[in-house]
Amino acid sequence: MAIATLIAAGRLDDRLIDRALGLLREVDPGASFSHWIDEGDAADLSFDGDLRSARWALETIEAVDVIVQPDEPRWRKLLVADMDSTVIDQECIDELADFAGLKDRVARITDSAMRGDIDFGRALRDRVRLLAGIDEREVRRCLDERVDVTSGAQTLVQTMRAGGASCLLVSGGFLSFAEPVARTVGFDRVKANRLIFAGGKLSGEVGDPIVDATAKRDALVDAREELGLRHSDVLAIGDGANDKLMIEEAGLGVAVKAKSALVEVADAELKHHGLDALLWAQGIRRREWFRA
């Protein structure tokens, strides 16, 4: 048995559910309404059949997020999350580049790297080299003035932590940003690249080893094994091509407002809601969510 969770906060009604059931019954004629998670916001449908076929059928419903997954396990015990454009709304390196008047040039490289058009490690080193000379105080100022936590991120992470899950922030960005973000949002683990400073200014170099797609996947595997968890216990979220390996490694891999290269390999896509919607995907009612 499998579950398709329909999410349309404040808009989910019988009409949308009936439409979804009509589409899902093309995959399984016996598909049925299971229950409301939160009436008007999120509901579960039950079916048997191919998960990917069900996903593609249901994603034709406009402005509704759909999470299709096996019915067990529902609750995940490890969350692994990308940072830039996932847990925060920005790409930190692009915002840093703005201080140096190089945002357009750096952002073009970032975009190519996130689409998977160029090697991530090479793209990271090329971009950091362009930022040589930026004062360490400007890095802190960039964090304070430019970085915003994505809607629902703190609720997702702290609700999962309260339920006993571990939460890992793993980023191809920088510890100078990732560590403060992790503290604010509530992650208990963090892995990211290290900027090198010389005389209080960026040297233009980044420390080895580079946290790339392989390192992200390895961090997921290491955390999973350390905690003694199964593949199916892991939820991973990201937005770019360098998240593909960790998304594929997770029991439930979700692309968040993502590049097409990631959407193609993910188990689900979140396009219309904040990250807290992933609590509905785990069957958690709103009244049980963490409130900041």
Residues 6+ apart with CB under 8 A from 136: 197, 200, 201, 202
Check if 82 is active-site.
yes
| Sheet of 189-193, strand order | 32-38, 42-47, 2-7, 65-70, 268-270, 252-256, 234-238, 78-81, 166-174, 189-193
Nearest to residue 131, comparing CAs of 147, 142, 116, 119? Answer: 142
Q: Is 44 a catalytic residue?
A: no
Choosing from 41, 84, 94, 212, the catalytic residue is 84
Specify the 3-state DSSP secondary structure of 66. Answer: strand
Q: Out of 38, 44, 82, 239, which one is annotated catalytic?
A: 82
131: tokens are: 């930022």
Three-class SS state of 145: helix
Q: How far is CA 82 from CA 12, 218, 243, 256, in A?
A: 29, 14, 7, 10
What are the CA-CA distances from residue 173 to residues 73, 93, 179, 243, 288 (Å)? 31, 7, 11, 12, 32
CA distances from 5 to 18, 21, 36, 81, 283 (A): 14, 12, 10, 21, 9
Q: Return the active site residues.
A: 82, 84
